[in-house]
Amino acid sequence: MKRCILTILLVALLVSSMAFAKTKLTFAVHWSDYQVEGIKDKEGNVVTKGLRQYVEEYMASNPDIEIEIQMVPFGEYLTRILVGRLAGAASDIYVLYSLWGVQLVESGVLDKVPKEVATAIKNDFVEAAVGGATINGEIRGIPTEVANYALVYNKKILKAGGYDEPPKTWDELIDMASKLTIKKEDGTVQQYGYVYDTSSNSGTVHPYLARLYSLGGQLFSNDNKKCLLDSKEAIQALDAEIEIFRRGGTDSAATHGDFQNGRAAMVILAPWWESSLKIAFGDQYEETIGVAPIPPMKDPKSVSYTWFVGVDALSKNKKEAWKFLEWFCIEPLPNGATRMGEFLANNIGAIPSRKADLDAFPDKLNDLYTSVYVQELANTVPEPNVAQGEEIKNIIWREIIEARHQRKTPEKALSDAKRQIDEILSEFY
């Protein structure tokens, strides 16, 4: 009898422990502390939700799920994914830069998106973002933020130079840049007409691609087997950039820092620069900063890069991971927005990629800065996703710098870039 009772107790204990067992999900992110923990006031109270508050909300309504947030520095993120898998320590969910997509798919990292999720993405997200999350013709994650480019200008400098509005074409930009550049008696530049975003390879390559696409050109052949930087459109697009140097509208020492310091009239930037400019210009921000579409060479074009969330193909909890991401990124709140859209607009200050999210935060997305970027999504081409995309972008970056410094002609710089890139493409296509 005692043995029977003991058996019953053991079975009851086992059933009880199984009932309280939780499914654990690990969510790897590159976001900073305030983006994860939320923005807090002086007393430590959360005034703008971070990722953790959304995760806690989900766990409260799904007590059988536990989500661990893993914060990884951006510079280590891709390596962490690849090394973590080899070490058997892969995360369940990732936030991914679209240019890594091909490598991660071909390495077997990314799970396939459930059919109903893919349908929602195609129907409800902006085209440029869908393209960014599409790898080899297949959607491999839920787009989060999408960032494109626009012309940012100093209204005061333009007005002082006799201009009431920004340039409408690239030729006008070249002409205005040369006339707005002011040099001291010793020849040093006091004010630039135009400067470049030198903070990253994207700040150089993406505006170049915008001009290339404006002319109707392509970076790669349709099968990705050839780089097309030897085309007349590619050469014309770079020559138009170097013409600003020839005409004296800028020089190789100019950077986006000159714009932030009030020493430059125009620069092409991504939307996330807004907060930096607000800090730089303080209470003079609204009367100083203006934003306009990139002046086209032919057709209006911008270029975007995308982030998306995806699930590891080896995750033991893929179903639960996708369920959480649907809740976070697709399921609408009463105002029609998603929680991810709310998080991006209110905390990160980024442009959400879901259409309804773009309409749900007018105070954040329709201000004097971001509204132009949102409008230009209709003219935006996603950065192409190819194997070794980051390495290829670095090659283009280096060769454009060579042309800027006039160590190479635009034609020579692009020819050298094409040769290096074709060698890479031949290994994968």
d(CA 353, CA 407): 40
- In the structure, what pLDDT confidence band is assigned to residue 89 with cuts at 50, 70 and 90? confident
Cross-sheet strand order for the sheet of 289-292: 266-269, 150-154, 289-292
Task: Tell me whether residue 10 is in a domain.
Answer: no
Q: Does 336 share its domain with 213?
A: no
3-state secondary structure labels for all residues of 355-384? HHHHHHCHHHHCCCCHHHHHHHHHHEEECC
| pLDDT for position 42 | 87
Q: Does 137 share its domain with 64?
A: yes
Q: Is-contact 265 192, C-beta < 8 A? A: yes
- In the structure, what pLDDT confidence band is assigned to residue 1 with cuts at 50, 70 and 90? low
Q: Does 419 share its domain with 272?
A: yes
| pLDDT for position 84 | 87
Task: Tell me whether residue 56 is in a domain.
Answer: yes
| pLDDT for position 369 | 93
Task: Tell me whether residue 130 is in a domain.
Answer: yes
Q: Is the pLDDT of residue 2 over 90?
A: no
| pLDDT for position 86 | 82
| pLDDT for position 16 | 45
Q: Is the pLDDT of residue 203 over 60?
A: yes
Tell me which residue has tokens 């995750």.
Answer: 315
Q: Does 284 share its domain with 339?
A: no
pLDDT in tens, 251-306: 999 999 999 999 999 999 999 898 889 989 999 999 999 999 999 999 999 999 99
- With a CB cutoff of 8 Å and minimum separation 6, the contacts of 421 are 227, 229, 392, 395, 396
Task: Tell me whether residue 65 is in a domain.
Answer: yes
Domain that holds residue 254: 150-304+385-426
Please state, for a pLDDT cut of 70, what percent of the chain lies above it.
Answer: 95
| pLDDT for position 8 | 52
Phi, psi of 194 (to 5 degrees): -150, 140
Residue 201 carries which side chain, given as an amino acid letter?
N
- In the structure, what pLDDT confidence band is assigned to residue 250 with cuts at 50, 70 and 90? very high
User: In 66-200, which residue ranges form alpha helices assigned H by DSSP?
Assistant: 74-86, 101-106, 115-124, 127-132, 155-160, 170-180
| Least confident interval from 9-13, 123-127, 248-252, 356-360 | 9-13
Q: Is-contact 149 206, C-beta < 8 A? A: yes
Secondary structure class of 68 (helix, strand, coil): strand
- In the structure, what pLDDT confidence band is assigned to residue 28 with cuts at 50, 70 and 90? very high
Q: Does 166 share its domain with 278?
A: yes
Q: Does 206 share its domain with 340?
A: no
Q: Does 285 share its domain with 322?
A: no
| Least confident interval from 12-21, 43-52, 165-174, 412-421 | 12-21
How many domains are contained in the chain? 2
CB-hemisphere CA count at 13 Å for 189?
A: 24
Length of the chain: 429
Q: Does 140 share its domain with 154?
A: no
Task: Tell me whether residue 13 is in a domain.
Answer: no
Nearest to 308 by CA among 280, 350, 279: 350
| pLDDT for position 14 | 47
Q: Is the pLDDT of residue 88 over 90?
A: no
Q: Does 321 share its domain with 263?
A: no
Nearest to 388 by CA among 336, 424, 426: 424
Q: Is the pLDDT of residue 396 over 90?
A: yes
The mean pLDDT of 321-330, rounded to a whole number, is: 98
Q: Does 249 share its domain with 289?
A: yes
Q: Which residues pair with 81 in a beta bridge?
A: none
Nearest to 353 by CA among 385, 377, 386, 383: 377
Q: Is-contact 123 355, C-beta < 8 A? A: no
Token pair of 88 as six digits: 């058997």
- In the structure, what pLDDT confidence band is assigned to residue 13 with cuts at 50, 70 and 90? very low
Q: Does 236 share its domain with 140?
A: no
Task: Tell me whether residue 113 is in a domain.
Answer: yes
Average pLDDT over the chain, rounded to an integer: 93
| Neighbour count for residue 270 (Cβ, 10 Å) | 25
pLDDT in tens, 111-149: 999 999 999 999 999 999 999 999 989 999 999 999 999
Task: Tell me whether residue 176 is in a domain.
Answer: yes
Q: Is the pLDDT of residue 244 over 80?
A: yes
Which CATH number covers residue 315?
A: 3.40.190.10
Q: Is the pLDDT of residue 20 over 70?
A: no
| pLDDT for position 185 | 86
The mean pLDDT of 327-351, rounded to a whole number, is: 94
Q: Does 103 share its domain with 154?
A: no
Task: Tell me whether residue 14 is in a domain.
Answer: no
| pLDDT for position 19 | 45
Residue 384 carries which side chain, given as an amino acid letter?
P
Q: Which residues pair with 23 in a beta bridge?
A: 65
